[in-house]
């Protein structure tokens, strides 16, 4: 865990120093909300439509983060330096997934209120805790799959394409579960708690892919 | 165990697709000795170093470092290897101090060692500048600090004096020179300089071992053939 903490600390420090990933994700989200605002030609949206717009926007913004997750390792030899250390290679998976999770959380702290102001009809307040729970599980899915896909992509020449081409199909179940769980929260007079069935689907998805990533990650780092 | 060679290669082979980068390389290096790996560009020198560093898997033959067979026992030897590669393996947006502290965390090395090394290579005044703003010679000095941070027993040095002026080269002598006491594998485009430091020589030509001998027994004709 010490190695994972060291890599995570380094990644967060690099992002704070360069501000290359999170601002891009935030700007992308805001621009997408504005595009939806005009493309749908509606002042406000709610319910399942709002959930779909929010989920898809966050997912595509997350792809930007996924594509950049291993850039510093690839371009500045961080991979080799890590592989030379006598540490469990799973530490890199844990650190990178945690970094991506943190980036997504920061994105949502800005993007969700912006969504509420720009597009959402019903007030967000009563559903906020439920929304945080759903987005937390969705972020975990995105972080695990994103790290796995990014680690595959980084060794290929078409690395910018591999993320979306492999990552998006893998994330479809998580996207469906997230949108379905969020939908009832964004209705007028929403109950405030997300449907348990879809939360369970998301949690199961997280568990399965976390275990899969744990089992596979070591092989992905081999030459 | 005292007689166990630091490096034992038998019939080492490595391919990249159709191309053979190393073919049937065999050499044994005792602990504390220095092996110079010579050859033209593309001869397989860097590939050999990356295999020894456990970053590449061999496709044939046997390798043992300190008696531990690779790649099966790679985990057991990683902490005893120090690699100074072509790339400095440093993050340009972090400072030398931040880079070295990161590597110290990975290798479970005390932070005092970072400060001691920065002082030893004369980089203390630049310890808080981003690496991307430093000159190539300064970056090479920090890269040396990174390579020796965890007190490795085997140093894998790819062109270690590249970008260094004579004064900087002297500063690094206790860390990567013979005085370090480490077993060393040195690659160099300058055969005379490498031979002056070496006990043994492995000359590679298109991945094949053309010379495997003691450094004193090398004839000029052999070197000429190697670089033809």
Surface of A (73-102) touching B: CB under 8 A: 76-78, 80-87
What are the residues facing B204 on neighbouring strands? B209
pLDDT score at B2: 56
Domain range enclosing B85 = 7-226
> What's this model's pTM, rounded to 2 decimal places?
0.90
B81-84, strands of its sheet edge to edge: B81-84, B154-158, B183-188, B34-38, B200-205, B208-214
Residues of B whose CB is below 8 A from A221: none
Give residue for tokens 């089992």. A215
| pLDDT for res B33 | 95
Contacts of A72 in chain B (CB under 8 A): 91, 93
* Angstrom distance (rounded) from CA B108 to CA A201: 40
Full pLDDT tens readout for chain B, 228 residues? 557 899 999 999 999 988 999 999 999 999 999 999 999 888 999 999 999 999 999 999 999 999 999 888 998 999 999 999 989 999 999 999 999 999 999 999 999 999 999 999 999 999 999 999 999 999 999 999 999 999 999 999 998 888 888 888 889 999 999 888 999 999 987 888 888 889 999 999 999 998 888 888 888 888 888 887
Q: Could you tell me if residue B1 is inside a domain?
A: no
Number of domain units in chain B: 1
Angle (CA) B30 B195 B147, round 5°: 65
Q: Is B79 on the interface with A (CB under 8 A)?
A: yes
State residue B47's pLDDT score: 93
With beta carbons less than 8 A apart as the criterion, state whether A65 and A103 touch. yes
The residue in chain B having the minimum alpha-carbon distance to the alpha carbon of residue A19 is: B93
User: Is pLDDT at A3 greater than 70 in this prediction?
Assistant: yes
- Look at B89 and A87 and tell me if their CB atoms are within 8 Å: no
**Number of domains making up chain A:** 1
> How far apart are alpha carbons B80 and B107 in whole angstroms?
10
State the alpha helices, DSSP H only, in A19-89.
22-39, 47-68, 71-75, 78-84
pLDDT tens profile A149-197: 998 888 787 777 888 899 999 999 999 999 999 999 999 887 778 889 9
CB < 8 Å from B in window 186-215 of A: none
d(CA A53, CA A115): 9
Residues 101-120 of B with CB under 8 A from A: 102-103, 105-108
- Identify which of A72, A77, A87 has the shortest CB distance to residue B106: A87
Residue B138 lies in a domain: yes
CATH code of the domain in which B20 resides: 3.40.50.300
- Mutant choice from A6, A74, A79, A84 vs B, greatest count of B C-beta within 10 A: A84
**CB of B96 within 8 A of CB of B196?**
no
A185: number of Cβ within 10 Å: 26
- Which tens digits make up the pLDDT trace of A66-84? 998 988 888 888 888 999 9
Write down the pLDDT at residue A160: 79
Residue B19: exposed, middle, or buried by beta-carbon count in 10 A (0-12, 13-18, 19+)? exposed
Measured from the Cβ of residue A41, the count of other Cβ atoms closer than 10 Å reads: 6
**Is there a domain that residue B132 lies in?**
yes
B91 falls within a domain: yes
> Domain limits at A170?
2-220
Is residue B117 in a domain? Answer: yes
Give the integer Cα–Cα distance in Å for B169 and B62: 35
For residue A158, give how far its alpha carbon lies from the nearest alpha carbon of chain B (Å).
18
Residue A223 has pLDDT above 80, yes or no: no
Residue A12 touches partner B, C-beta closer than 8 Å:
no
Q: Is B78 helix (H, G, I), strand (E, B) or coil?
A: helix
In a domain, residue B2? The reply is no
* For A17, nearest residue in chain B (alpha carbons): B93
């Amino acid at each position: 865990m010490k190695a994972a903490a060291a890599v995570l600390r380094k990644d967060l420090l690099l992002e704070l120093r360069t501000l290359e990933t999170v601002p891009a994700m935030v700007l992308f989200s805001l621009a997408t909300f504005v595009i939806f605002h005009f493309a749908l030609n509606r002042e406000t949206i709610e319910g399942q439509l709002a959930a779909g717009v929010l989920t898809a926007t966050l997912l595509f913004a997350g792809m930007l983060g996924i594509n950049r997750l291993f850039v510093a390792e690839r371009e500045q030899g961080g991979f080799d330096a890590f592989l030379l250390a006598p540490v469990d290679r799973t530490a890199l998976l844990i650190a990178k997934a945690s970094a991506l999770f943190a980036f997504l959380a920061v994105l949502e702290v800005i993007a969700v209120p912006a969504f509420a102001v720009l597009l959402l009809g019903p007030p967000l307040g009563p559903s906020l805790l439920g929304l945080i729970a759903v987005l937390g599980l969705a972020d975990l899915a995105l972080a695990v799959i994103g790290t796995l896909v990014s680690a595959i992509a980084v060794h290929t020449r078409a690395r910018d394409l591999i993320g979306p081409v492999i990552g998006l199909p893998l994330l479809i179940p998580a996207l469906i579960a997230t949108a379905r769980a969020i939908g009832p929260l964004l209705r007028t007079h929403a109950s405030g708690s997300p449907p348990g069935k879809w939360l369970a689907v998301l949690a199961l998805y997280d568990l399965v892919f976390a275990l899969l990533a744990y089992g596979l990650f070591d092989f992905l780092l081999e030459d | 165990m005292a007689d166990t060679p630091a490096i034992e290669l038998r019939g080492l082979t490595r391919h990249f697709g159709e191309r053979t980068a190393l073919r049937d390389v065999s050499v044994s290096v005792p602990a504390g000795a220095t092996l110079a790996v010579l050859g033209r560009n593309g001869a397989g020198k860097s590939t050999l170093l990356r295999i020894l560093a456990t970053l590449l898997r061999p496709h044939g033959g046997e390798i043992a470092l300190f008696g531990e067979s690779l790649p099966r026992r790679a985990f057991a030897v990683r902490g005893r290897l120090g690699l100074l590669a072509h790339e400095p393996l440093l993050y340009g947006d972090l400072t030398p101090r931040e880079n070295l502290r990161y590597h110290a965390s990975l290798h479970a090395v005390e932070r005092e060692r970072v400060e001691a090394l920065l002082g030893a290579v004369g980089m203390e005044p630049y310890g808080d500048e981003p690496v991307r703003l430093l000159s190539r010679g300064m970056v090479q000095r920090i890269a040396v600090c990174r390579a020796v941070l965890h007190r490795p027993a085997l140093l894998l040095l790819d062109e270690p004096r590249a970008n260094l002026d004579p004064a900087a080269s002297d500063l690094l002598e206790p860390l990567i020179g013979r005085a370090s006491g480490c077993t060393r594998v040195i690659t160099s485009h300058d055969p005379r300089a490498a031979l002056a430091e070496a006990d043994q020589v492995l000359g590679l030509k298109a991945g094949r071992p053309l010379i495997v001998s003691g450094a004193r027994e090398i004839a000029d004709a052999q070197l000429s053939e190697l670089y033809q």
